[in-house]
Amino acid sequence: MATATTLRAAFKPSPYLIGSAVLFVLAFVYAIYLEVTLGHVAFNTTNYGVFWGFPIVAYDYFLLTSTGLALVASLPLAVGIRSWDPVAKRCVWLAIAALVGGVAILFLELPHPLRALWATPINLQTASPLFWKILCVGAYTIVLALLAYAFGAGRGPAEVPRILAVVLGLLALAITLIAGSVYGMLVFRPFWFGSELPVVFLIESFMGGIAFFIFFTYAVHGFVADNLSENTRRLLAGPLGIAAATAVFLHLLFVLTRTVTGLWSYGEGMEVWRYTIAQPLYWLALIGGGLVPLVVFALPSLRAQPWLQMIGAFLVALGLLASRYEFMINGQLVPPFKGSWAPPLLEYAPSQLEWVLLFVGIFLANTIYAALESWSSTRER
């Protein structure tokens, strides 16, 4: 009893936690107000072809970032690469935070979110990738919670049950590959269709996981490099930075080769590529979220600079969100099986509510992460 009282007294919420929580509450209340007063019409999706809007983009972005963080954590926890031990716990905290933030966005977008929790598994639509994705996400959530409990009990990366880490890595891998298959299997969406998408999603997930770890490692230390341990600084300037450069390079190859193929193709539905390259978002994601971070992480002299590491990681995170938006939305701008009634391309822009839901997810994820960091610090005292 005395121990519990001491721990509760020692817990002091950081300004980061308080600020994130306040912003989350404000965004959440405003989102609920818009949903109650406007109804589902507040979302700018249509029955003509744009069925998945910005909230689904944000949900997938957070979910795949979470699995990427879990894959990064699996290197020391499951594979046993001890030099990567400094990333393990923080990657687990961030994976939990990103998962909660993404699922919250999805739940606020669905008209009946609780129905989806039980109806999807018992309907047994085993031919659908979404069926397996939801089952894997449920198991993934449980394993993340068990790992969080192990870390909370004071265990180090080498002391965490290896079986949990192996299962976590396998589930993260499965979710990422299945998420790519959700799009890659859709023959009637030529912009999406392709057997390479699961592998591409895996690369981008790993890339996002590294970027989030780098940025939030600095964030939780007040963006002061001297506050980081020597092992962490050495890892960021060495193996982790090289891994980030490799993932960004492979992502850029995917974007450029898809662009060339899409522009060359004369098949129906591929005309959206001409629209895509005419948008500033495409070039901002390609250059700002790809080429610039690639230079930063690929050159040892730049990679060793903490402030460039932060900027590079932040640009990667933003670039991935822009690329995910472009990929998902542009893939729906040509209506499937279109007739003479359909315009050349559909139009879509996120509504006010859809933007607010993005910030709900961001602030909630930051609140969860800040709370876990504060709780972890308390347990270690």
Domains of the chain and any CATH numbers: 13-380 (1.20.1630.10)
pTM for the full predicted model: 0.91
pLDDT in tens, 7-17: 444 667 788 89
Q: Could you tell me where the DSSP H helices lie in the chain?
A: 2-10, 15-38, 54-74, 85-109, 113-123, 129-152, 162-184, 197-220, 230-237, 239-264, 272-277, 280-283, 292-298, 300-303, 306-330, 352-380
Instruction: Find the range with the poorest average confidence among 36-45, 162-171, 277-286, 305-314.
Output: 36-45
Helix (H), strand (E), coil (C) string for 244-299: HHHHHHHHHHHHHHHHHHHHHCCCCCCCHHHHHHCCHHHHHHHHHHHHHHHHHHHC
Three-state DSSP at 196 gives coil
Answer whether 43's CB lies under 8 Å from 35's CB: no
Answer whether 27's CB lies under 8 Å from 327's CB: no
Q: How many CA atoms lie less than 13 Å away from 360 in the CB half-sphere? A: 27
pLDDT above 70 covers a percentage of the chain that reads 94
Which tokens in the block code for residue 296? 């930063």
pLDDT of amino acid 337: 67
pLDDT in tens, 317-344: 999 999 999 999 998 888 776 655 556 7
Q: Tell whether the model's pLDDT for residue 162 goes beyond 60.
A: yes
The arithmetic mean of pLDDT across residues 55-73, rounded, is 96
pLDDT in tens, 163-179: 999 999 999 999 999 99
The arithmetic mean of pLDDT across residues 148-160, rounded, is 84
Q: Tell whether the model's pLDDT for residue 294 goes beyond 90.
A: yes
292-313 burial by CB neighbour count: b if 16+ within 10 A, else e?
Answer: bbbebbbeeeebeebebbbebb
193 backbone dihedrals φ, ψ, rounded to 5°: -55, 130
What count of residues does the chain have? 381
